[in-house]
Amino acid sequence: MRCLAVCQSELVVRMLDSVLLPSFEVEFLVESRPLARRLHEAGLTASSGDLRRTDTYLKADLSPNTCVIVEDSGRKTLRHVLEAIRTAGGTLIYVLGMGTGPAGSREDEIRAAFPDVSYLSMTELFGPPFLTEVGRSLTRARVQQYQRYFSDADRILILMHNDPDPDAMASGLALRNLLRRTKATAILGAIQGVTRPENLRMANLLDIHVEAITAETIGEFERIAMVDVQPHYFGSLLNRVDLVIDHHPQQPGYSAVFKDIRPDYGSTSTILTEHLRSVDVNISERTATALLYAIKSDTLFFNRQANRVDLEAFSFLYPLADATLIRKMEGTEITLERLEYVMRALQAGRMADQVYCSFIGPAPREDLIPYVADFFLQLENVKWTIISGIVNENLVVSVRNLGYSRNAGEFVRKWFADIGSAGGHRAMAKAVVPLAAFRAKYGNLSSAEMNDRILEMAMTFLREHQAPERRKEVVRAS
Residues in touch with Mn ion (CB under 5 A): 167, 228, 268, 298
Q: Which is nearer to Mn ion, 167 or 260 (CB)?
A: 167
Q: Which residue is nearest to Mn ion (CB)?
A: 167
In three-state secondary structure terms, 394 is strand
Q: Which is nearer to Mn ion, 71 or 228 (CB)?
A: 228
**Shortest separation between residue 4's beta carbon and Mn ion, angstroms:** 52
Amino acid, res. 186: A
Q: Which is nearer to Mn ion, 51 or 206 (CB)?
A: 206
Local structure of residue 48 (DSSP, 8 states): E
**Shortest separation between residue 430's beta carbon and Mn ion, angstroms:** 18
Longest dimension (CA), the chain: 98
Q: Give the H/E segment covering residue 259.
A: strand 258-261
Write out the E strands in 263-419: 350-352, 355-362, 384-391, 394-401
**Shortest separation between residue 387's beta carbon and Mn ion, angstroms:** 24
Q: Which is nearer to Mn ion, 283 or 291 (CB)?
A: 291
**Shortest separation between residue 248's beta carbon and Mn ion, angstroms:** 7
Q: Which is nearer to Mn ion, 139 or 268 (CB)?
A: 268
**Shortest separation between residue 199's beta carbon and Mn ion, angstroms:** 12
Q: Which is nearer to Mn ion, 167 or 274 (CB)?
A: 167
Q: With 0-12 CB in 10 A as exposed, 13-18 as middle and 19+ as buried, what is 56? A: buried
Q: How far apart are CA 189 and CA 180, in angstroms?
A: 17
**Shortest separation between residue 227's beta carbon and Mn ion, angstroms:** 9
Instruction: Examine residue 166 and say whether the peptide bond preceding it is cis (omega within 30 degrees of 0).
Output: no
Question: How does DSSP assign 65-103, residue by residue?
Answer: T-EEEEEE-S-TTHHHHHHHHHHTT--EEEEEE---SST
Q: Give the H/E segment covering residue 137.
A: helix 122-151
In three-state secondary structure terms, 165 is coil
Q: How far apart are CA 33 and CA 69, in angstroms?
A: 19
Q: How far apart are CA 351 and CA 430, in angstroms?
A: 20
Q: Which is nearer to Mn ion, 259 or 344 (CB)?
A: 259
**Shortest separation between residue 268's beta carbon and Mn ion, angstroms:** 5
